Amino acid sequence: MTQTVTYTRHGAFAEALIDNPPVNATSASVRAGLAAAIRTAEEDPAVQALIIRCAGKTFIAGADIKEFGKPIAPPQLPTVIRMMDEARKPIIAAMHGAVLGGGFEVALACHYRIATPSTKFGFPEVKLGLMPGAGGSQRTPRLAGLAMTIKLVTEGGQIDAKTAHAHGLIDEIAEGDLGAAALAFAERLVAAGKGARSARDLPMPADDPALFEAARKTLARKMRGQTAPLKALEAIRLGYEMSFDDAVVRELEMFREAMAGPQSKALRNLFAAEREVARIPGLPETLAPRPIKTVGVIGLGTMGRGIAMAAANAGLPVIAVGLDLNNLDQALRAIGKMWSGNVAKGSLTQATMDERLALITPSADPTDLAAADLVIEAVTEDMAIKTEVFARLGAVTRPGTILASNTSYLDIDALATASGRPEDVCGMHFFNPAHVMRLLENVRGARTAPDVVATIMAFGKRIGKLPILSGVCDGFIVNRMLAKRSREAFFLVEEGANPEAIDKVLVSFGFPMGPFALGDLAGLDVQAAARKARKASATARELRADFVEQMVAAGRLGQKSGAGWYRYGEDRKPAHDPETDRLIAAHAQKHGLLRREVRADEIRERLLYAMVNEGAKILGEGIAPRPHEIDVAMVNGIGFPAYTGGPMFWADQIGLGKVLASIERFRADYGDEYWAPAPLLVAHAGQGRGFYG
């Protein structure tokens, strides 16, 4: 048929086998091949039914994202789907792997559907700022009802084969070989005299239309700021207002409008960036990672526990070393408690929890780490302690064992020297809670061996993380950029903005919370310790804005003590605290500061451009090899809204000339010390280009 679709006859049945790696997307040649297969099967009197199946690890996982934003070669997907609707012979989808987006739409346009038990189904379009564009919003309700459709189409989640079967989205779960099962299904179909049919001909469900209003409210909260989920909801409603054929035409128009919109452009860039960061410039893709069979974790505070859990969750044996016996016991109990919470919620079975617990071998003796292939250090964030630990690790582990520090800002190269085996040393900066947060900031030191880099990138993926690579600098990518945002936030408070107003600006920009609510959540004592560690490099003004130290001195540690910037009741919701107003007013009086009204746009620009400028420095210094690392890290690490594409992509959309002009204005007002523009930003703005080109 075409390069990617093979047409084969098996007696009275024909099979169109799609083989379009990596995910069998509906690229131009697949669409052409499917169209030809349908035509051939229809015209061949000896063929009684057509089976559509895929080679490789998945059924069609969607439209081809690489074609988006470019002219689409005919036939377009809706055309192929219309051919399926009009076919007189039954078409059967035989599915495995992931049936997503356009792939799910092809499946729903087939007349019958069978799938292996492990198949997953979903419409991830909203995650790309899109919505189904080939009938998904119209066929799904006709087969599965409104509630299931709203869940699938507007939230972008996936369901398993059992759920799909229970909701009428597939006809049969196929055991054993899928090709053989599909043929047997076709034979039974024909023997029973069943012919072609189409979901197009079914009525819309008589479900309660109040579901729309309820969903609108849920989406406005759960997917705040995103335009696609509400558009997707609107598309489903079309089925009640017009005929199927008119509704799919309008759905396609809406899909195209969404595709041209800024959010989809940003989310698609981020999708590509999240995959691009796995390819490290200059690192051969053929470089073999070192085998990791056993993981060691040393230091069992909050981070160490989470890291041990993340490794055990991936089925890896963990030697968990705590240096104090009491703490060791407490750590294991805490780990058990966290997993028990998952069991109670039903996301983990007791048997799996027991297996995972059995993978963790506690020890108070670092020499036990001799059996590990990778040791992750998560002891107290103190250079002297970490230096001692690395010297010890260098002595007790085998040469070739990777020694990684979970430090969030300390010097990896100094730890590498202390170990005596600098080529084996790197950073692996996890985010709290380490067993939950997806981002992993891997750090390459000056002397880290290339295969160590390859190993920690592969290891991160193996434990379900999204690893990015940073070079060594104070705070690496995420905390270095975040530190600039915190600096501006404290300065803004000194100048007159109140913490709640600042948080509100960032929340309305799309962050899950602002810097002050975040400080309260993380613990102001933790923030004060980080400020103390950086004291030597802080400016006089940064030292003066010592709100965090004042809070801690007053026993206000944030959420955990019931008060910080905000006051917290039983519900843990932040509430205004007049005590904070008093503290700020006293601070201003003590230092003779005249507070003024600060406008929301100044707050937004100062907080965000401070990060963009630092990102440009990070890029210019080669700490991040590409803007991709920065955007992926900031979206997944601190909740920079994904639909902006991340700080660097967002700045590109504003125009670097405009960003630079604001930075120059701030420089004139607040000095070179804080607002000297990054040379790379100046250079790119001068050339009229962006960080991405």
Annotated active-site positions, please?
Answer: 63, 102, 105, 125
CA dist., res. 595 & res. 497, Å (int): 8
> Using only C-alpha atoms, what is the Rg of the chain?
28
CA dist., res. 151 & res. 169, Å (int): 14
H/E stretch holding 467 reads strand 466-470
Q: Which is nearer to ligand 3HC, 296 or 625 (CB)?
A: 625
Q: Which of 420, 418, 458, 464 is nearest to 442 (CA)?
A: 458
CB of 61 to ligand 3HC, least distance (A): 3
Q: Which is nearer to ligand 3HC, 64 or 373 (CB)?
A: 64
In the numeric block, the tokens 């895929």 are attached to 54
CB of 212 to ligand 3HC, least distance (A): 21
Q: Which of 135, 161, 411 is nearest to 252 (CA)?
A: 135
- Rounded alpha-carbon distances, angstroms, from residue 410 to 154, 428, 529, 615: 43, 12, 13, 19
Work out whether strand 13-18 and strand 5-10 pair parallel, antiparallel, or are unpaired: antiparallel
Q: Which is nearer to ligand 3HC, 267 or 659 (CB)?
A: 267
Work out whether strand 439-443 and strand 425-430 pair parallel, antiparallel, or are unpaired: antiparallel
CB of 100 to ligand 3HC, least distance (A): 4
Q: Which of 100, 18, 34 is nearest to 63 (CA)?
A: 100
CB of 63 to ligand 3HC, least distance (A): 4
Q: Which is nearer to ligand 3HC, 129 or 646 (CB)?
A: 129
**Terminal CA-CA length for the chain:** 39
CB of 523 to ligand 3HC, least distance (A): 34
**What does the block give as tokens for 428?**
């692996």
Q: Which is nearer to ligand 3HC, 66 or 217 (CB)?
A: 66
CB of 137 to ligand 3HC, least distance (A): 9
- Rounded alpha-carbon distances, angstroms, from residue 354 to 295, 331, 339: 18, 16, 9
CB of 444 to ligand 3HC, least distance (A): 21
CB of 35 to ligand 3HC, least distance (A): 16
Residue 333, judged by CB atoms within 10 A of its CB (0-12, 13-18, 19+), counts as exposed
Q: Which of 407, 405, 417 is nearest to 381 (CA)?
A: 407
Residue 311, judged by CB atoms within 10 A of its CB (0-12, 13-18, 19+), counts as buried
CB-CB contact of 646 with 674 (8 Å): no
- Cβ density class 471-495: b for 16+ within 10 Å, e for less: bbbebbbbbbbbbbbbbbbbbbbbb
CB of 64 to ligand 3HC, least distance (A): 4
**What does the block give as tokens for 113?**
């559907």
Q: Which is nearer to ligand 3HC, 275 or 398 (CB)?
A: 275
Which residues of this protein are in contact with ligand 3HC, per CB under 6 A?
A: 22-23, 25, 61-66, 77, 98, 100-102, 105, 124-125, 128, 130, 132-134, 136, 275
Q: Which of 639, 311, 281, 358 is nearest to 465 (CA)?
A: 311
CA dist., res. 136 & res. 152, Å (int): 10
CB-CB contact of 559 with 522 (8 Å): no
Q: Which is nearer to ligand 3HC, 133 or 239 (CB)?
A: 133
CB of 645 to ligand 3HC, least distance (A): 16
In the numeric block, the tokens 């590509």 are attached to 272
**What does the block give as tokens for 480?**
């270095």
Q: Which is nearer to ligand 3HC, 103 or 299 (CB)?
A: 103
Number of helices (H), then strands (E), belonging to the chain: the values are: 30, 19
Q: Which is nearer to ligand 3HC, 255 or 675 (CB)?
A: 255
Q: Which is nearer to ligand 3HC, 313 or 479 (CB)?
A: 313
